[in-house]
Structure 1
C-alpha cells in the first residue's frame, strides 16, 4: 500500500505497519462499531435469540479482532496454499497480525480456557466485492460443544441425542438428511467411528432444533431443513445446513466434527466435539426482510427506529433514491496488478457506503502493445438521500485519483 503510515491504531493499541499492510482507513473505522452488541440493533436481537436457545452455554462477544495468522489459519489446519491467506482475500496489519476472517480464530484459546460448550459472536473481516449481500465487515457466531472421548462422555451424548430426537419428533419439521459419515465425508483417522457418529448425530439434532427455534414451522407448513456434505479444513465430517423459507432454499450455516489437531493445540487431546459457524447478517436479512447489507451500518433514524430488543419485525423500506452509475476505465502499468478486491477497497475508502455495487464490465488487451485495460461500473446510490450528479462526479474523480496514486494506472 503506497503512503502507508508508520503505525495504525486499533481499539487504542498501536501496531507497526510493513510492506504487506493492506487494511484501509474505511475498514479501521468500522472496528469500534460492534453492531452485535448495540441494544435494539437487528444483529443484537438475533444474537440474543440464538443465545436464548442455549442458555447453559458460555456466551462470549468481547474479543479483539486483531489475531495472528497462526490463530486464524494454522491452528485450524488451513493448508499453506489456502486462498484465504492471500493479501487479496484478508486484511493484514503486518506480517504477524491481521484482522480475523472468522470467529474460528478464537476456537483454540476458548477450548484452552476450559470452555466445553460456548457461543462466540464477533465482527469478522474479509476483502470482498461490493453488492447488496457482501460487505467487508460482517458478523459471525461460532458455537461448539465437546465431551470426554470415553464411555462416560459417549453415554452423555447418547442421552442428549435421545432427548433431542423426541423433541424433534413432536415438532413441525421435515429433515432431509445425509449419512453422518460416508466415504466422501469421512471420520478422522484418530477418531473412534462410533464416537464420531454419535457426535455428528448430536450436532445435527442440536442444529435442527436451532433452525426450528429461528424459523418456526406449523402443521400446515412444517419447516424444511436439509443437510449437505461439504469440506472445511477445520472439521470432518463436515456439513452445510439449508432451510426452505419463503419459497427458496437458503444456506444458513456450516458445521462438523472438530479436527483433532485443533483440540490437540488446545491441550485437550482426550476430547471430541462439534462446532458450527453462521453469518448473522445472512439470517437477519431473511428474518427482518432487510434488502441491502449496507443498511445494518446505517445510523439513519428511519432504519434504527424500526427495531426493538427481542422483537423480530419486518423492515419497512423508506424511499429508494435514484442510482448514479459511473464508469472508471484505465490502463494497467506493466508489473502492477489490480485485483478486483483492490479496486473495491479504493472505492470503499473514498465513497464509503454511498456505493451500492461495483461490476467489472470490460477487460481488454491491446493486440499490438499487449497493454491491459479494465473498466468498472460503480453504481452510486445513497440509502438515506439523493446524490446530485455534481457530488457523484467529485467522488468518482477522487476514486480515479486514488487509483493513479496507489496503482500507477493510466485513466482512459
Structure 2
C-alpha cells in the first residue's frame, strides 16, 4: 500500500482494487490542491455568539488580560479582539521570519559601524498613554491621528502606540542617548495587499553633546543633519547594495528639518524611511536643552516586501508552512515564491494496484482532472500483502 499526500480545499477519497496473480497491492496517494471555486450547500443558520480570540497575551514577561484592553463598557474603547490577539505576537523577535531577518540585518549594520554605541530595545509594551504617543512627540492637539477613526483607544488616556516614537521621552529620561527601538505599532486602517492595521517599525535616536559639533566647526543642526544622512545612506547601501539615492524635504511634527530618503530600485524611486533633526522641545522636556539629536523611523514590512518580493502585507501574519518555510535566519537573499491563497487541505487516497501500475500514471490522472489546482502529488507509503482471493 502506498500513501500519497493530498493538499486541497476539496477532494474525494477514491479506492480502486485490482486483482493480480501475485495478490493485491494497495497504493495510497495524496496530492495537494487549491480550489478557486467550490460549491458548498448553505449551512444551517446558527445563533451568533461572540467569543474572544484569546483571553490574555504575554508581552516582555507581563501577562495582559483581554479585559484590560478590550472594554465593551467604555465608549472610547475601539480595540477589537482581532487587534488584541496581535499584541503578543511580536514578529520582529522571530529570527526566521522576514520581519526578524530585516531587523537583524539593520542591527548588523549598526554593530559593524557603531560598535556598542546603540542600545537595542524591542520588548516595550505597545500600550502607552496619549501623552507618550502624542504630547511627548509634539503632535498637535487637533492632529487627525488623535481621532478615534485613526487610533486604537483603550480608554480616553490610553492607546495602542501608533509609532515607536512614543518611547522617545521615556528612554531619554532613563539615560539612553543612542538607541534603536523596534516594535509592533497599530493604526486603524483599511486592509488590502499594502495596508494592515498592525505593522512593525524601528526607531533610531542619537543625541550629541556640544563638544561633538564644536570640534567640527559646524552649526549644531547642520552637524546632526549631516551625521544622520551619512548614517542612513550607509544603511540603505547595506540593505539594497549600490543604489542611487536622493533626499526629499518633508514635514514631521517631531523633527526640523525633516527628510525622506528615497532610492532608485527596480526602475522606480522608493521611499525607504523618514527622519530629521529632533525638535528642541522634545530634548528640553527631558533635560537635554543644550544638546542636539537626530531620529529616524522605518517600516519593516515595507522593506521586507521589497527585498523579499512579498506581494501582500497580510502574508506576514500567516502560519502557513508554504510561507514560513521559505525563510531562514540570516538568509537575506531569499525571493518569495507565490503559492495559492487558499488554505491547504491534506488528504490521503489509497487503493489496490496491479504490478503494471506506476505512480506517474496516477499523477497524470490527477493533473488531467484538476489541472493547475494541484500543488503537489507524492507517494507517502507503500504496503504489499499477498492475499488469497476467491472470486464468485
Q: TM-score, normalised by structure 2?
A: 0.68
How far 1:294 sits from its partner (Å)? 0.5
How far 1:10 sits from its partner (Å)? 5.5
Taking the aligned partners of 1:4 and 1:30, their CA distance within structure 2 comes to 16
- 2:353 corresponds to which residue? none
1:203 aligns with 2:228: yes
1:27 aligns with 2:79: no
1:80 aligns with 2:141: yes
- 1:296 corresponds to which residue? 316
Answer with 1 or 2: which has the greater Rg: 2
**Counterpart mapping for 1:355-374 below 5 A:** none
Change (3 A) 1:112 1:66: same
**CA distances 1:358-384 after superposition (whole Å, capped 9, x unpaired):** xxxxxxxxxxxxxxxxxxxxxxxxxx9
Change (3 A) 1:19 1:385: farther
1:43 aligns with 2:43: no
Task: Tell me if the contact between 1:321 and 1:385 (Cα under 8 Å) persists in the aligned partners.
Answer: no
- 1:121 corresponds to which residue? 182
**Counterpart mapping for 1:1-400 below 5 A:** 11=58, 12-14=63-65, 15=68, 17=71, 18-55=74-111, 56=116, 57-148=118-209, 150=210, 152-155=211-214, 158=216, 194-217=219-242, 223-312=243-332, 313-321=334-342
Higher relative contact order (CA 8 A, sep 6+): 2
The count of residues paired between Structure 1 and Structure 2 equals 280
Gaps of 5+ in 1: 160-192, 218-222, 323-383, 387-412
Gaps of 5+ in 2: 1-49, 344-372, 376-392
Taking the aligned partners of 1:72 and 1:105, their CA distance within structure 2 comes to 4
Q: TM-score, normalised by structure 1?
A: 0.65
How far 1:13 sits from its partner (Å)? 3.0
Task: Tell me if the contact between 1:112 and 1:268 (Cα under 8 Å) persists in the aligned partners.
Answer: no
State the secondary structure of the residue aligned to 1:32: coil
Alignment RMSD (CA, Å): 2.4
Task: Tell me if the contact between 1:145 and 1:274 (Cα under 8 Å) persists in the aligned partners.
Answer: yes
Higher helix share: 1
